[in-house]
Structure 1
Amino acid sequence: MSASSPQELRQSWQDAQGCIHAGPVRQTANGFTVVGCAACGFSHTLPLPTPQELEHIYAHEYYTQEKPLYIERYLEDKAWWDEVYAERYERLEAELPAGRRRLLDIGSGPGLFLAAGRERGWDVMGVEPSERASSYSRDVLKLDVRSMFLTDETAATLGQFDVINLGEVLEHLPDPAGMLRLVHGLLAPGGMLVVLVPNDFNPFQRVLNESMGVAPWWVAPPHHLNYFDTDTLPRLVARCGFEVRHVETTFPIDMFLLMGHHYIGNDTLGRQAHAMRKTLEMNLRAAGASGRALKSQLHQAFAGLGLGREVLAFARKTDDTSSPA
């Protein structure tokens, strides 16, 4: 089924709390259906797995089976990641007073974002369910990373934070709004939220799927349950008690597919495309203030067009914690 063909099919499903999730079918994959859910305000799979059904995947399988080379590739790209993370910390430091530097990274992976913050003088902590990734953070980088899922019970042991980072987390959760409300409670007044999610069903992807016959590789349940874009992510964040301060997207690497560089399923070509993207961004950063400003403007312009591989949002905690409609 095409991602934006006439939406004649609709599907509905009732969760354990009695909420009806219903909407037009966008795609099907691996026994799941992705619908544009009216109740949630973003696209997600039906049915939604329970947290218990997902726990084993992320505690034991994700970094060994789904992404066996993730840590190695992450470290190969460390110089580029250091620049990416420097930009995020620079924006946070501009938003917060100098004395507010306590940060929690939820789904902290191998820990490079936390390490970058520590080098800048931040007080950092991570929560990471993968034993492999959290062990690397603790044993190699000597970071305070807890091997657990963030729940109401575990959150009560952590204290309050000035910043909470959710990098590529919300797309994996059965209840992303519930996670945002939990995070809201962990943030000190006026604290900042940083959220990064894939920008799915974006215009480049739709052209590739509809006009070029490229299968929708970004639809990947049960690992990716939710599918956000430049409109639905900011709306969800705002409904969960945050004032959105800044939205941009990351480089639209899927444009390489439009140029005939067919890297899907080809690791060598994928690394080549990623290397060209890194070179572009590193050269702009190396050009000084003007190059960094141009890079930021470029990524904001991508967001304005709905393009970019991920959506990145910065938001400030407010007192409004109303639930999504």
Structure 2
Amino acid sequence: MNGYKLVEDPEFNYLRVDPVPSYEQVEQFYLNEFYSGEYKKFNDSDLAVQEKDKEFFLLRWRFIYEQCHKYIGDLKGRTLLDIGCGYCQALLYFREQGMQVSGMEPSAEGCAYGISQGLSVIQLGFENHIHDFGEKFDVVTLLNVLEHLREPAEVLKRILKHYLSPNGMLVVEVPNEFNEFQVVADREYQLDQWWICPPGHINYFNVNSLKNLFELCGFEVVHIESSFPLEMFLLFGDVYVGKDALGKICHQKRVKFEQTLAQNGRFEVLQKLYQSLGELGLGRQITMYAIPKKS
């Protein structure tokens, strides 16, 4: 834990490290380490990782697109802001679907790549800054970002006030930590809670704590889904923690499972499965969809 301990946030009840890293520590981490340091090999926002695993990510973004379409209607011509857009691969997908897209990203590398692709991307550390886009957005996405933030509640409130249209939808994806498969595997194989990794991850959410945070910040949750429960491989005996080669094999099996269903016209089966897993609190990731509460 490198001098940190894990505590329950007294106001919002999710788990976080204590002490919370300073703004300067976090800023330097993303400027100097997230894409270029030791953390890079664990970072699925890296461009090379996303290009190599393109089909996996396309399916992930299809889930988001179709759920937003279901709740707020036809998305062609609608606006989307991706906060923490990384190398902008999600933005490229949503643009291909006919949306008008913008991004915010603290790393120079990610911004430069997005601009090279003709995207509207600004370089900004979004915890302490507000950018005036001149409009509010129909969809705001925050994908694998909230776990990294010093003050996640303040960022959600800022999105509600400054970025999200009153009839828009916020989509947040975070790791599903301390889920039952993960906890049992950790106990069975003495894996030392491998998912706790400050200062990269400051906050640790599950379905209940993330939903509670949304509601306290002025949102109504309308849909919850999770992703494939990757820790299930650990329970099968494939202990991939600390073993990159085995981890890649397990991931490839997960991708094969999803692609086989989708390519054979069973995408809706996947949707129903991942919604059910979300209700059970299982799955590697949680994706939560919310709209502004009506007063």
Same fold by TM-score greater than 0.5: yes
Q: Can you list the C-alpha shifts for 1:298-319, whole angstroms capped at 9, x where unaligned?
A: 1122122221111100111125
Counterpart in 2 of 1:24?
A: none
Counterpart in 2 of 1:301?
A: 276
Which amino acid in the other structure matches residue 216 of structure 1?
Q
Checking the alignment, whether the CA contact within 8 Å between 1:195 and 1:314 is kept in structure 2 is yes
Question: C-alpha separation between the residues in 2 aligned to 1:67 and 1:210?
Answer: 28
Matches of residues 159-198 of structure 1 in structure 2 within 5 Å? 159-185=135-161, 186-198=163-175
What is the TM-score of this pair, normalised by structure 2?
A: 0.93
Superposed displacement of residue 149, structure 1: 1.4
Highest CA radius of gyration, 1 or 2? 1
Superposed displacement of residue 79, structure 1: 1.9
Counterpart in 2 of 1:110?
A: 87
Counterpart in 2 of 1:67?
A: 40
Residue ranges of structure 2 left out of the alignment (5+ in a row)? none
Counterpart in 2 of 1:10?
A: none
Counterpart in 2 of 1:44?
A: 16
Percent identical residues? 35
Superposed displacement of residue 59, structure 1: 2.1
Match of 2:52 among 71, 76, 91: 76
Kindly tell me: are residues 205 and 151 of structure 1, through their superposed partners in 2, closer, same or farther at Cα, counting changes over 3 Å? closer
Question: C-alpha separation between the residues in 2 aligned to 1:181 and 1:52?
Answer: 22
Checking the alignment, whether the CA contact within 8 Å between 1:190 and 1:318 is kept in structure 2 is no
Q: Can you list the C-alpha shifts for 1:260-302, whole angstroms capped at 9, x where unaligned?
A: 21221222111111111011111111121xx122111111221
Q: How many residues align structurally?
A: 289
Superposed displacement of residue 158, structure 1: 5.3
| Helix, strand or coil at the partner of 1:251 | coil
Question: C-alpha separation between the residues in 2 aligned to 1:94 and 1:248?
Answer: 14
Q: Do residues 55 (structure 1) and 30 (structure 2) align?
A: no
Question: C-alpha separation between the residues in 2 aligned to 1:190 and 1:157?
Answer: 17
Question: C-alpha separation between the residues in 2 aligned to 1:251 and 1:203?
Answer: 14
Matches of residues 111-190 of structure 1 in structure 2 within 5 Å? 111-139=88-116, 141-151=117-127, 153-157=129-133, 159-185=135-161, 186-190=163-167
Checking the alignment, whether the CA contact within 8 Å between 2:12 and 2:216 is kept in structure 1 is no
User: Which shows bigger deviation, 31-40 or 279-288?
Assistant: 31-40
Residue ranges of structure 1 left out of the alignment (5+ in a row)? 1-28, 321-325
Question: C-alpha separation between the residues in 1 aligned to 2:134 and 2:248?
Answer: 38
Counterpart in 2 of 1:211?
A: 188
Q: Do residues 287 (structure 1) and 257 (structure 2) align?
A: no
Kindly tell me: are residues 123 and 62 of structure 1, through their superposed partners in 2, closer, same or farther at Cα, counting changes over 3 Å? same
| Helix, strand or coil at the partner of 1:162 | strand
Q: Can you list the C-alpha shifts for 1:167-202, whole angstroms capped at 9, x where unaligned?
A: 011111111000000000111112100000010011
Kindly tell me: are residues 224 and 117 of structure 1, through their superposed partners in 2, closer, same or farther at Cα, counting changes over 3 Å? same
Which amino acid in the other structure matches residue 67 of structure 1?
K
Checking the alignment, whether the CA contact within 8 Å between 2:173 and 2:287 is kept in structure 1 is yes
Q: Can you list the C-alpha shifts for 1:120-164, whole angstroms capped at 9, x where unaligned?
A: 11000011111222222222x322111111256433345311110
What is the TM-score of this pair, normalised by structure 1?
A: 0.85
Question: C-alpha separation between the residues in 1 aligned to 2:172 and 2:26?
Answer: 21
Counterpart in 1 of 2:203?
A: 226
Which amino acid in the other structure matches residue 37 of structure 1?
D
Kindly tell me: are residues 32 and 299 of structure 1, through their superposed partners in 2, closer, same or farther at Cα, counting changes over 3 Å? same
Question: C-alpha separation between the residues in 1 aligned to 2:213 and 2:151?
Answer: 12
Checking the alignment, whether the CA contact within 8 Å between 1:230 and 1:306 is kept in structure 2 is yes
Which amino acid in the other structure matches residue 155 of structure 1?
H
Question: C-alpha separation between the residues in 2 aligned to 1:92 and 1:183?
Answer: 17
Q: Can you list the C-alpha shifts for 1:215-249, whole angstroms capped at 9, x where unaligned?
A: 21100011111000011111111111111010011
Checking the alignment, whether the CA contact within 8 Å between 2:191 and 2:241 is kept in structure 1 is no
Superposed displacement of residue 112, structure 1: 1.1
Question: C-alpha separation between the residues in 1 aligned to 2:269 and 2:216?
Answer: 31
Counterpart in 1 of 2:212?
A: 235
| Helix, strand or coil at the partner of 2:234 | helix
